[in-house]
Amino acid sequence: MTGHFVEVGAGVHVLREPLLDVNVTLVVGDGAALLVDTLSTAAQATALATAVRAVTPHPWTLVNTHHHFDHCFGNATLAADPPRPVYAHPLTAEWLRDRPDELRRLAYEEMHTEQPALAAELTRTPLLAPTHTVHTETTLDVGGRRVVLHHPGRGHTAGDLVVHVPDADVLVAGDLVEQSGPPAFEESYPLQWPEAVAALLRLTGPATAIVPGHGDLVDAAFVQAQHDQLAGLAWLIRAGHTAGAPPERVAAEAPFGARAALVAARRGYAELDGTA
């Protein structure tokens, strides 16, 4: 079961999908709506559409914050019939357009041990590529409301987008910010991630409601603290690489726990070696 939307700012609603703790954000304007992320499967997306209709009858435009399955595999269900605009970074669009089989395979490999039923469903999920790309920044008119889509730089992936709703003081951060667990570093750029979060923070104030990719809403103080951890991790990676230390030694001293930090250290070393 997908759940229901809760209003977190004027005309901005968040649904928290319980299986993977993913957040979906709905912005409602005058005669139009914007839906940020589309969950993992056709069944989840169908339930999500029902939850949207409990809030608004308006047609929606979609945004994908990045290409990972739990944020975009519902595109085909929510935007194919009738066709609806889907916005994403060009690299997210490339993954979904040119590498759908690889995306399904990676999703299956990630989920088959802990969630075998979900993993099997992911292999059968039709994918739909975004129709509009955002290289740096695009402003949308959502029923008279100004909504800004912004690429703050490489971080969780190479193609993260954040969504800013200034009149409600809400910022949707995607997986650049995590609350329910440590950041996921498997396809990340840990040396550049701190600057991406710093760019995100420049869009916020003390009272801004920030929607992380997973977990509870957070504020700018939480994001600042996570930025500082990411910056400390990047420093450790650079120092370890310069000293010729193995990534395991960096991970032993790093924040976020040894498992996540080891993935981060290996990715950071690949950045420094020019292979990431």
Q: Domain of 166: which CATH number?
A: 3.60.15.10
Instruction: Flag whether 275 is in a domain.
Output: no
What is the per-residue pLDDT across 147-165, written as a single tens digit (0 to 9) for each? 999 999 999 999 999 999 9
Instruction: Flag whether 198 is in a domain.
Output: yes
Residue span of the structural domain in which 31 resides: 5-219
Q: Which residue has the tokens 């910022």?
A: 171
Instruction: Flag whether 49 is in a domain.
Output: yes
- pLDDT of 131 > 80? The answer is yes
Instruction: Flag whether 65 is in a domain.
Output: yes
Average pLDDT of span 36-56? 98
pLDDT band for position 1 (50/70/90)? low
Instruction: Flag whether 71 is in a domain.
Output: yes
How many Å apart are CA 261 and CA 266, to the nearest integer?
Answer: 9
Instruction: Flag whether 62 is in a domain.
Output: yes
Instruction: Flag whether 272 is in a domain.
Output: no
What is the tally of structural domains in the chain? Answer: 1
Residue 74, strand partner residues = none
Instruction: Flag whether 54 is in a domain.
Output: yes
| Cα Rg, the chain, nearest whole Å | 18
